[in-house]
Amino acid sequence: MSLTILANDGLATSGIDALTAGGHTVITTKVAQSQLIDYINQHKVDAILVRSATTVRQDMIDACPSLKMVGRGGVGMDNIDVDYAKSKGLKVFNTPAASSDSVAELVFAHLFGMVRHLHDANRNMPLDGDSQFGQLKKTYAKGSELSGKTIGIIGFGRIGKAVARRAYGVGMRVIVHDPHLLDGDFEVAFADGQILKTSASMLSMNEVLRAADVVTLHIGGNSELIDAKALATMKEGAFLINAARGGVVNEPALIDALKSQHIKAAGLDVFVDEPKPSVQILMNPHVSLTPHIGAATVEAQARIGLELAEQIMAKS
């Protein structure tokens, strides 16, 4: 059966080529959210593929009888009314494994930058590097090494394990908290084909917060997990990274913790008020910033495209 597929938030060439070769029609026109229902009905769209920008809610599902499938290129599906869609007979799917490595590498991009103050140096060197080189050198000469430090991973699913593998390679001690798991087992695959089986210490949430030099968050949903109390529980001078969901961290409490330097620095890829993050967060010199690009690598998008295409063809 040939399907008309709207990839409203874009789709990698790998996915388009696979779907086209399978006899399906792929539309990559970006349709505004307010115009989506009319567009879907006008073009009799069978499947809509989204990432983070587009939402698929109950009103769209009710108003678009041609829809048979909803696919999310990524891990979470907070922007889709999943249960309602399924109750109406739609097939709903995502790509949970495709972007794990790209998110994990972004975590360490933030972390390597923060421990050597690169996030701040890259702001100030273009401004004052030619006139205050010596002072800047003195300011940024007190960085830290990651080897021997403890990383606490909150949420030990695919992304959490991908972070653990990289931490292990850097020489960090890995501790984890995940209420849905009983052990912290994971594997480290090396470029020469060797595979090492090892395990992280599975601890309570408070134990992880108290012991970790770095806390990184990899949980689903938007429920606030890191509030003022949790930040106060963290080790003084620790680093916090959030590449999960904006609502997981209380941003005003984080700003206070950064101001007092109880939290040394934070790496944020997600924000409470996307796509207009708080100015207080954006201007804070102790925050390393990226605009929700955890899954946005060429390699991850190619994997996502292929995985979406494979799921559509398997379900059609």
Annotated active-site residue in 119, 158, 245, 303: 245
- The domain limits of the chain are 4-96+298-315, 100-289
Confidence class of residue 292 from pLDDT cuts 50, 70 and 90? very high
Q: Which of 146, 209, 144, 148 is nearest to 176 (CA)?
A: 209
| Averaged pLDDT, 225-254 | 97
| Averaged pLDDT, 86-108 | 95
Residues 14-53 have pLDDT tens digits of 999 999 999 999 999 999 999 999 999 999 999 999 998 8
**How many residues are recorded in the chain?**
316
- Asked about 57 being catalytic, the answer comes back as no
Confidence class of residue 220 from pLDDT cuts 50, 70 and 90? confident
Q: Which of 303, 309, 264 is nearest to 287 (CA)?
A: 264
* CATH fold for the domain made of 4-96+298-315: Rossmann fold (3.40.50)
CA dihedral 307, 219, 169, 266 (to 10 degrees): 120
Residues 245-289 have pLDDT tens digits of 999 999 999 999 999 999 999 999 999 999 899 999 999 999 999
Q: What is the pLDDT of residue 185?
A: 97
- Asked about 274 being catalytic, the answer comes back as yes
Token pair belonging to 205: 């949430």
Annotated active-site residue in 145, 187, 236, 274: 274
Residue 234 in contact with residue 213, Cβ under 8 Å? Answer: no
- How far CA 65 is from CA of 35, 83, 91, 213, in Å, comes to 16, 17, 13, 52
Give the DSSP letter string of 124-149.
HHHHHTTTSHHHHHHHTS-----TT-
Confidence class of residue 222 from pLDDT cuts 50, 70 and 90? confident
- Asked about 292 being catalytic, the answer comes back as yes
Annotated active-site residue in 177, 292, 303, 307: 292
Q: What's the predicted TM-score (pTM) here?
A: 0.89
Q: How far apart are CA 99 and CA 159, in angstroms?
A: 8
CATH number of 100-289: 3.40.50.720
Q: CATH topology of 4-96+298-315 equal to that of 100-289? A: yes
Token pair belonging to 237: 């001078």
Instruction: Read off the amino acid at residue 52.
Output: S
Residues 129-159 have pLDDT tens digits of 999 999 999 999 999 999 999 999 999 999 9
Confidence class of residue 97 from pLDDT cuts 50, 70 and 90? confident
